[in-house]
């Protein structure tokens, strides 16, 4: 019971709707099975982070949250500048607070490989592109795969302004960033 409380698994089962308990416990629903599609664990992270981000709406009246759209959607609906290289790219979350915009990307890695390195480089580039248009960028990532990719995540920490894990998010770091936008 102590492990379940400290690891957050009770919170996971009570706050996030698990579609199939057996698949979740076997790792299928969170993308740990050998035939998992690449987006399954990312979708699980979105389900974990979404209620946290949505809870900020109640605290900050001027906060709007857009989920799983393209940057083109933001340009067309909010009339803001978007780097041309990102216009057709999909995002996990965009937060608008007052006249400030922030892109939040989330993912989870249970294993190593070349994908985490590609993501680090991609998100460094995305942050740099967004900064040109006065946007912020936050990356929330987690998983045991980063143990094998320590050098890769270190590059991310050295080059991305806000790189968080779920523990940082639960301790209020994400909210502090959003509050100070």
- The pLDDT score that the predictor gives to residue 31 is 53
Own/partner contacts of 162-166, CB < 8 Å, gap of 24 or more, are: 162/136, 162/137, 162/138, 163/138, 163/139, 164/138, 164/139, 164/140, 165/140, 165/141, 166/8, 166/48, 166/49, 166/140, 166/142
Q: Which residues make beta-bridge pairs with 106? A: 140
Determine the 3-state secondary structure of 129 from DSSP. helix
Q: Which residues make beta-bridge pairs with 107? A: 141
- Which candidate, 81, 100, 82, places its Cα nearest to that of 90? 82
Give percent of the chain with pLDDT exceeding 70: 78
**Spatial distance between the Cα atoms of 105 and 46, rounded to a whole number of angstroms:** 9
**Spatial distance between the Cα atoms of 35 and 31, rounded to a whole number of angstroms:** 8
Q: Is the pLDDT of residue 87 over 90?
A: yes
CA–CA distances in Å: residue 119 to residues 17, 113, 125, 167: 27, 11, 10, 20
- The pLDDT score that the predictor gives to residue 23 is 64
Q: What is the mean pLDDT of residues 99-112?
A: 90
**Spatial distance between the Cα atoms of 41 and 29, rounded to a whole number of angstroms:** 8
**Backbone phi and psi for residue 98, each to the nearest 5 degrees, phi listed first:** 65, -125
Q: What is the mean pLDDT of residues 54-67?
A: 91
Q: What pLDDT band is residue 100 in, cutting at 50, 70 and 90?
A: very high
pLDDT tens digit sequence for 10-59: 666 665 556 666 666 666 555 554 444 445 456 789 989 999 999 998 88
pLDDT tens digit sequence for 135-147: 999 999 998 888 8
The string of DSSP codes covering 3-31 is HHHHHTHHHHHHHS--S-HHHHHHTTTTT
Q: Is the pLDDT of residue 92 over 90?
A: yes
Determine the 3-state secondary structure of 113 from DSSP. coil
Q: What is the mean pLDDT of residues 102-108?
A: 95
- The pLDDT score that the predictor gives to residue 118 is 86
Q: What is the mean pLDDT of residues 167-172?
A: 95
């Amino acid at each position: 019971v102590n492990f379940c409380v400290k690891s957050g698994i009770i919170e996971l089962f009570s706050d996030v709707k698990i579609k199939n308990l057996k698949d979740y416990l076997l790792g299928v629903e969170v993308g740990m099975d050998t035939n998992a599609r690449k987006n399954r664990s990312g979708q699980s992270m979105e389900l974990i982070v979404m209620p946290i981000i949505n809870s900020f709406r109640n605290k900050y009246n001027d906060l709007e949250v857009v989920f799983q759209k393209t940057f083109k959607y933001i340009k067309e609906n909010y009339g803001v500048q978007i780097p041309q290289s990102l216009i057709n790219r999909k995002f996990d979350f965009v937060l608008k607070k007052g006249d400030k915009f922030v892109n939040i990307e989330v993912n989870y890695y249970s294993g190593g490989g070349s994908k985490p390195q590609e993501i680090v480089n991609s998100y460094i580039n995305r942050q740099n592109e967004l900064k040109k248009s006065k946007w912020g960028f936050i990356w929330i990532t987690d998983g045991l795969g980063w143990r094998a990719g320590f050098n890769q995540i270190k590059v991310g920490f050295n080059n991305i302004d806000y790189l968080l894990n779920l523990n940082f998010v639960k301790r209020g770091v994400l909210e502090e960033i959003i509050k100070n936008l």
